[in-house]
Amino acid sequence: MGGNIAYTEPIGKKGQLQFDYTPSVQKNKANQQTFHYDGQKYSMFDTTLSNQFDNKITTNNVGVNYRLNQSRDEQFSVGINFQNSKLQSERIFPNVTTVNQSFSNILPNVMWRKKLSAVSNIRVFYRASTSFPSINQLQDVVNNSNPLSVSSGNPNLTQSYTHFLSGRYSYTNSKTSKSFFANLMLQTTGDYISTATYFVQADSVVQNIIVDKGAQFSKPINLNGYQSLRTFFTYSMPVKKIKTTVSVSTGFSYTKLPGFVNKINTFTNNYTYNAGIALASNISEFIDYNVSYNANFSNSKTNTTNNTATKYVNQALGVQLNLLNKKGWFIQNDVSGNANSGLSAGLNQSYWLWNAAIGKKILKKQAGEIKLSVFDLLKQNQSIIRTIDERSITDAQTNVLKQYFMLTFTYKLKNFGTASAAQSNRGGGGMQMRPGGGMNGGRGGDF
């Protein structure tokens, strides 16, 4: 629950001074109850694994912001906010414990935007912000559902403080249909909510719970040192001879994740490089296609005693083809290929995902459409996910939706806007059956 009050006062002919006040209150409750099996049902209440926890965050934010509009082609603003926050955490069961924390922060922000020419502009933005731990991170109840990986919350967590800087250059020439975009984002976070991990050397008792030798115990803690950098560049141009728009893109990202293992500070550095090319065509209202290729290379390294390093490559190819005849019959194809290397044993697999549909437009002005679709025609759909955090690098294969058929009828009540014939005649806006696999749970072959 929150609100906002703002007052703006003109300063000269081109400036504005704005004062604002934003109060907010956020309440969260968590109630975990654990029961053991008594031979017939789960009725034996376990107080050591049960916990009731309340959390309240109260924030008062007062700010002043100055805006200068030099012209329509250039804008500048600078501001500062003063924020006072209270984080109240209370364990109600099995015993009452209260942790109250208060924070005072100065949060500056700066924005500058300039139109460089009729087809290009640049924008730079900076801001500072805070974030609070979730109630699950604060709730100090032991979770031993996996005896080899026991975890607990930490009611003494504090807020995180983040600096964020971004820059963007854009060029769009409607006469030549050429465009170029460059993006840069930097972020650093103090008191980043990370994880402390302890490998148990002997049977131990944690919050009245026995943790076996060889298991690991983890809980969230605040650590400094989080950093991230991301860049992305894309260029598009038309190739008139084949009525196709060609787009090339490339990017780089870097993330530094602080960790804490057996009372030793660690850092996981993750470097990711990507590049891709896409060809998009709309030859006529009866045929259009899209072809794309994207490659990602990732290198992750942790500065532990064994200096762990892992590399993997993901390649994705996608082809979409839509055909329509004058009588309203249409065929849609969406084929994507995915190849992985450098993952855990058994997960370096290649597979294809083929979605297809056939249908016909009916009724007056082709307002109706009947379509038969099939998802995963080749029965190869997969979902392979790599997760990188301050504790570990994990590869996992999860269950995904397999082949199915679907018959649909669509009727347009009214046409909005002035969409082109090609857009309105492809049949239902193209393939819609996209819950499938690919790295990070995405659709195979898409990027």
164, β-bridge pairs: 127, 187
pLDDT at 423: 46
Q: What domain range includes position 244?
A: 5-439
pLDDT at 110: 98
What is the Cα 98 distance to its own chain's centre?
34
Average pLDDT of the residues of the chain? 86
User: For 53-85, how does the pLDDT look when each residue is reduced to its tens digit (9 = 90+)?
Assistant: 899 999 999 999 999 987 889 999 999 999 999
Is pLDDT at 436 greater than 70 in this prediction? no
Is pLDDT at 183 greater than 90 in this prediction? yes
> Is 33 a domain residue?
yes
Residue 7: pLDDT band (50, 70, 90) is very high
Where are the alpha helices (H) located in 289-446, listed in sequence order?
Answer: 421-424
Is pLDDT at 106 greater than 60 in this prediction? yes
Q: How many domains does the chain have?
A: 1
User: For 347-387, how does the pLDDT look when each residue is reduced to its tens digit (9 = 90+)?
Assistant: 677 889 999 999 998 888 888 889 999 998 888 877 767 67
pLDDT at 439: 38
pLDDT at 156: 93
pTM recorded for the entire structure = 0.81
User: For 390-411, how does the pLDDT look when each residue is reduced to its tens digit (9 = 90+)?
Assistant: 666 676 767 778 888 999 999 8
Q: Which two tokens stand for residue 7?
A: 């007052």
- Tokens 């609070």, residue located: 132
d(CA 216, CA 198): 6
Q: What is the mean pLDDT of residues 320-349?
A: 85
Nearest to residue 440, comparing CAs of 379, 407, 397? 397
Reported in sequence order, the residue ranges of 262-392 that DSSP labels E, i.e. its strands, are 264-284, 287-302, 309-324, 329-341, 350-362, 368-375, 383-388
φ, ψ of residue 424 in degrees (nearest 5): -90, -10
> Is 445 a domain residue?
no
Is pLDDT at 447 greater than 70 in this prediction? no
Measure the CA dihedral 27/28/29/30, to 10°.
-170
> Is 279 a domain residue?
yes
Residue 210: pLDDT band (50, 70, 90) is confident
> Is 444 a domain residue?
no
> Is 231 a domain residue?
yes
Rg (CA), the chain: 28
> Is 282 a domain residue?
yes
> What stretch of H or E contains 137?
helix 135-138
> Is 367 a domain residue?
yes
Dihedral sign from CA coordinates of 204, 206, 210, 216? negative
Q: What is the mean pLDDT of residues 4-24?
A: 92
CB atoms within 10 A of CB 361: 22
Percentage of the chain beyond pLDDT 90 is 52
pLDDT at 415: 53
> Is 446 a domain residue?
no
User: How big is the CA angle at 360 (ends 358 and 366), to the nearest 5 degrees?
Assistant: 145
Is pLDDT at 248 greater than 90 in this prediction? yes
